[in-house]
Amino acid sequence: MVKRINSPEDLEKLRSEIIAKSKAEKHIVSVCVGTGCIALGADETINVLEKEVEKHGLKGKVEIKKVGCVGFCEQGPIIIIYPEEICYLKVKPEDVPEIVSKTLVDGKIVERLVYTDPNTGEKISKLGEIPFYKHQLRLLLANNGRIDPKSIEDYIAVGGYKALAKALFEMKPEEIIEEIKASNLRGRGGAGFPTGIKWETTRNAPGEPKYVIVNCDEGDPGAFMDRALMEGNPHSVLEGLIIGAYAIGAHEGFVYVREEYPMAAEHISIAIKQAEEYGLLGENIMGSNFNFKVTVHRGAGAFVSGESSALMTAIEGKVGEPRPKYIHTAVQGIWNKPSCLNNVKTWACVPLIILRGAEWFRSIGTKGSSGTMIFSLVGKVNNTGLVEVPMGITLRDIIFKIGGGIRGGKKFKAVQTGGPSGGFIPEWLLDTPVDFDELKKVGSMMGSGGMVVMDEDTCMVDAARYFVDFLLEESCGKCVPCREGLKELSRILNNICRGEGKEEDIQLIEDICETMREASLCALGRTAVNPVLTSLKYFREEWDEHIKDKKCRAKVCKALINYYIDPELCQACTLCLRECPVGAIHGDKEHVHWIEQEKCIKCGTCYEVCRFGAVKKISGEPIPPPPKGMKPIRKRGE
Amino acid sequence: MESNKRKRSKSGFVGLRINEEHERILSKLQETSGLSKTELLLRGLEILSEYYSLEFDKPALSLELRRLEMEALRYAEVIRHIRQKGRALRLVIQELRDIDAIIDKHNADKSRLIQILLDVQKKYGWLPKLSLMWISERLGVPIAQIYTIAEFYKAFSLSPRGRHLIRVCMGTSCKVRGAEAILDRIQRILGIEKGKTTPDGKFTLETVNCLGCCALGPVMTIDGKYYGNLKIRDIDEILSKYD
């Protein structure tokens, strides 16, 4: 039977009780069960772990915790053993018996499962010393490896809801808003609007009731930090939301979770239920006379619905399309009442600011952007995963120091920040610090935190085309500049990628972009121009090559490339011949293979399967004639 | 003459016209339901009397009922392959009750329309027209508005889906890691384009904008099971595991 918390003293008493209970000398084995690690079999690992712990009679001394995303996704599935902080990577179910017997029983480290520095070969077992983690400043993600997201008691044990107690009993709503303003917290959803001012506007706007909303739509492809936070520490977001509601004077809140994140929706729903049971949500929170209830609203698969006015319309049960924001949603939002919408990460910052103070928060980061930011570092980088860093760190440090550089030893070409609303940043601008204003200056934006790394094999024209096509499909269609502009841009860019580009196209693209930027109804249309314009600005030679020379230097655009088997490297193993879905490859075990160009559909299978690197992609050059009847030059030892 | 008299007194249907076929059906009905024709008739009269006392006109009821019945029978025949009307309607009544339960779970709140549709989508794998008609009636939302929502959001399908749902991630990170080649391969093997279902009803192929597990890219899910780090040559084998 859960005892309701009716005062801050009750909370502290409960906290000490929980901590005392877990004081026993024991190991905690945290297994990451975020969506990514589950996809790699973490479920099965847990089954084996439970059996092995039982087998060795360790049941009272070892606690198995299912934790949320710890961020080092490239090396998943991950297990962290506390209190030593031993981090095991790429753990398979078969590895578990050894982990239990060697580490939990004998106290020794399983060397082969520990991080190996790719340059020095050094083995690093402690989580905090792994380069990926060493250079990060994990404030929001600090507890993701330590707590079971489905347990409110775990959250309380690490200091949860202390900020709420302080806010409700030691601060007045106006003081809270002043504190948030003083911290210079800026919205982590994309635009970077000062959060304190948004809260103040909502509080002062005429009209009751007022609403607060968590935006967990995270529509940017390649971004999953909100997912990790919601899955791994939903209470941190909830606590921030309750504090915000109290400061603004709202008694009802919504959490909008996108349909593609079922686990996040489940975890926040459980958190809400638990908070209500413990008296930390609902009527008379903690005995403070403040009432606040929260409902979860799931999305249904629409990128544009992540825009704040669109999201509010969706919560009303209507089609989630944006409206022109002559009047801010903070003044007239859901059902035309003042509504304050903030991103998941923004809400999660609030308890930290309340507890440690605005000055502390401002001391991290840059003058214009305080605090930390979580980026999802993805694409062609070695250490794909979630990175939390102080604002002001350079892109170069994130990609190379933390990210470990480009995978496969390829050359860096561009990094795309801010999702489809952001832009491409080339190599010579890599020392740009991550800061709301600095990123805008180079033509991109912070956005929600997606950071996609691209290498020499990425075509910058094709990448711009990809974003335009994406936005074209997601556009709500209400306004002419966005709807018609994207349609035209898509037609032109697809033509260029097909080798049908014309010289006049570039000027036309720029004209269309200018109109879209000035006249679109919402930010989707206005910022849709960023990928196209930055690609043109920084990679103009690739565009000229596509249009004038019909050449794609990254060898991506199908119409501009041909697959060719180098007769000097081919070993006539017949593998590509057999795998070719259209039978376009000729040859046999005694003769070098060659591709019949008219049949080739350029699917890339032969390129993928060849073990000798004999299949090449060529572009903008004449195709050498097929070497019919040539014998292969056998490599020694093959 | 003699036989007719006997027939009439056996069934007890004095005064009400009856022919051989009706006779057969009605005695079967009595067997299975335990209700006689007169009891059935009385029930019908009771419903009519309630309707009239609420000042409804019988034509209005029969029009509504007929519309619903038509859609119900069409749904039962085309989707569930049930032709026999009695069984068809019994099935539909049960399904409508299930949908009622979903609507009631959300307190029949108009603003929860999208949530209700998500639950129906989850239960049936698609949104049958019948369910939309019912939701429209219960929530008081015009069906055209419901269609707008169903077509705007990608999570909804207005036609039945295949037995297995393939969702290929086409997010930026997966794209630079070769998701388009994976999609091409699947389209080639199944012979359908994205958004479509194979003629044998086995697979429905859809693309998704981001599944949020970018370290595994390129990634796809089949019936919610994740397949990551995909290579073109793995696709054949993965798909062959499903029947």
B60-119: pLDDT as tens digits? 777 778 888 889 999 999 888 888 888 888 888 889 999 999 999 999 999 899 999 999
Query: Which of A303, A319, A399 to probe by mutation at the B interface, max B CB count within 10 Å?
Result: A319
State the Cα–Cα distance between residues A205 and A199, nearest whole angstrom: 10
Identify all chain B residues contacting A319, using CB atoms and an 8 Å cutoff: 148-149, 152
Query: What residue in B sits closest to A231 (Cα-Cα)?
Result: B212
Structure-token pair, residue A563: 């697959």
Residue A24 binned pLDDT confidence (cut-offs 50, 70, 90): low
Q: What is the CATH number of the domain that holds A602?
A: 3.30.70.20
Q: A604 and B181 in contact by Cβ < 8 A? A: yes
Residues A96 and A239 grouped into a single domain = no
State the Cα–Cα distance between residues A198 and A331, nearest whole angstrom: 10
**What was the pLDDT predicted at B7?**
47
Residues A258 and A347 grouped into a single domain = yes
Radius of gyration of chain B (CA): 26
Q: How far is B229 from chain A (nearest CA, A)?
A: 10
Identify all chain B residues contacting A73, using CB atoms and an 8 Å cutoff: 213-216
Residues A272 and A392 grouped into a single domain = no
pLDDT of A390 over the 80 cut: yes
Q: A380 and B177 in contact by Cβ < 8 A? A: yes
Complex ipTM more than 0.95, yes or no: no
DSSP secondary structure of A119-163: TT--EE-BGGGSHHHHT---SSSTTTTTS-TT-HHHHHHTTTTHH
> What number is the average pLDDT over the span A230-234?
95
Cα angle value A225/A35/A402 (rounded, 5°)? 45
Identify all chain A residues contacting B214, using CB atoms and an 8 Å cutoff: 73, 222, 224, 376, 378-379, 384
Q: What is the CATH number of the domain that holds A94?
A: 3.40.30.10
The helix/strand/coil state of A477 is: coil
- List, in sequence order, the alpha helices (H) in chain B: 2-11, 20-33, 37-53, 58-78, 85-105, 113-124, 129-139, 143-152, 172-176, 179-190, 235-240
Identify all chain A residues contacting B171, using CB atoms and an 8 Å cutoff: 221-222
Last residue of a domain, one of A519, A549, A579: A549
User: What is this structure's pTM?
Assistant: 0.88
A514-573: pLDDT as tens digits? 999 999 999 899 999 999 999 999 999 999 999 999 999 999 999 999 999 999 999 999
**What was the pLDDT predicted at A343?**
96
Last residue of a domain, one of A455, A478, A501: A455
Structure-token pair, residue A2: 């859960």
pLDDT of A458 over the 90 cut: yes
Q: A454 and B176 in contact by Cβ < 8 A? A: yes
pLDDT of A79 over the 60 cut: yes
A8-22: pLDDT as tens digits? 999 999 999 999 887
> What number is the average pLDDT over the span A78-104?
91
Residues A210 and A353 grouped into a single domain = yes
The residue count of chain A comes to 638
A145 located within any domain:
no
Identify all chain B residues contacting A420, using CB atoms and an 8 Å cutoff: 172
Q: B210 and A224 in contact by Cβ < 8 A? A: yes
**What was the pLDDT predicted at A34?**
85
State the Cα–Cα distance between residues A452 and A444, nearest whole angstrom: 13
Residue A72 domain boundaries:
26-127
Residue B158 binned pLDDT confidence (cut-offs 50, 70, 90): very high
Which of the pair, A634 or B133, is modelled with greater confidence? B133
Q: What is the CATH number of the domain that holds A265?
A: 3.40.50.11540
Residues A207 and A298 grouped into a single domain = yes
The residue type found at A432 is T
A183 located within any domain:
yes
Give φ, ψ of A86 to 5 degrees: -75, 130
Contacts of residue A229, defined as CB under 8 A and 6 or more positions apart, other chains included, come to A140, A141, A144, A236, A237, A344, A345, A348, A374
Reduce the secondary structure of A164-218 to three states and give it as a string. HHHHHHHCCHHHHHHHHHHHCCECCCCCCCEHHHHHHHHHHCCCCCCEEEEEECC
**What was the pLDDT predicted at B8?**
45
Q: How far is A447 from chain B (nearest CA, A)?
A: 14
Query: What residue in A sits closest to B227 (Cα-Cα)?
Result: A39
Element (H, E) at A582: none
Residues A496 and A587 grouped into a single domain = no
Residues A198 and A59 grouped into a single domain = no
Closest residue to B214, CB basis, from A301, A384, A416: A384
**What was the pLDDT predicted at B67?**
85
Residues A301 and A169 grouped into a single domain = yes
The closest of A199, A198, A261 to A225, measured between CA atoms, is: A261
Percentage of chain A lying above the pLDDT 90 cut: 76
Task: Return the number of CB contacts < 8 Å for A and B.
Answer: 151
A138 located within any domain:
no
Query: What residue in A sits closest to B224 (Cα-Cα)?
Result: A39
CA dist A346 → A100, A174, A185, A219, A341 (Å): 39, 19, 8, 16, 10
Q: What is the CATH number of the domain that holds A522?
A: 1.20.1440.230
A49 located within any domain:
yes
Residues A569 and A536 grouped into a single domain = no
State the Cα–Cα distance between residues A531 and A236, nearest whole angstrom: 34
A636 located within any domain:
no
Closest residue to A378, CB basis, from B214, B227, B232: B214
B12-24: pLDDT as tens digits? 545 555 677 777 7
State the Cα–Cα distance between residues A188 and A345, nearest whole angstrom: 6
The residue type found at A343 is N
Residues A298 and A415 grouped into a single domain = no
The helix/strand/coil state of A315 is: helix
Q: What is the DSSP letter of A407?
A: G
Q: B232 and A604 in contact by Cβ < 8 A? A: yes
Closest residue to A298, CB basis, from B115, B188, B227: B115
Radius of gyration of chain A (CA): 27
Query: What residue in B sits closest to A605 (Cα-Cα)?
Result: B232
**What was the pLDDT predicted at B6?**
46
A12 located within any domain:
no
Residues A414 and A538 grouped into a single domain = no
Closest residue to B154, CB basis, from A301, A378, A452: A301
Residues A446 and A465 grouped into a single domain = no
Contacts of residue A436, defined as CB under 8 A and 6 or more positions apart, other chains included, come to A186, A192, A368, A369, A445, A446
A10 located within any domain:
no
**What was the pLDDT predicted at B1?**
45
> What number is the average pLDDT over the span A358-368?
95
Q: What is the CATH number of the domain that holds A403?
A: 3.10.20.600
Tokens 């489940």 belong to which residue?
A266
Last residue of a domain, one of A422, A439, A455: A455
Q: How many domains does chain A fold into?
A: 5
Angle between helices A234-248 and A262-277 (to 10 degrees): 60
Out of A470-474, A586-590, A593-597, B51-55, pick the least confident. Answer: B51-55
**What was the pLDDT predicted at B5?**
47
The helix/strand/coil state of A254 is: strand
Q: How far is B108 from chain A (nearest CA, A)?
A: 12
A147 located within any domain:
no
Q: How far is A236 from chain B (nearest CA, A)?
A: 20
Q: B213 and A35 in contact by Cβ < 8 A? A: yes
Element (H, E) at A415: strand A412-417
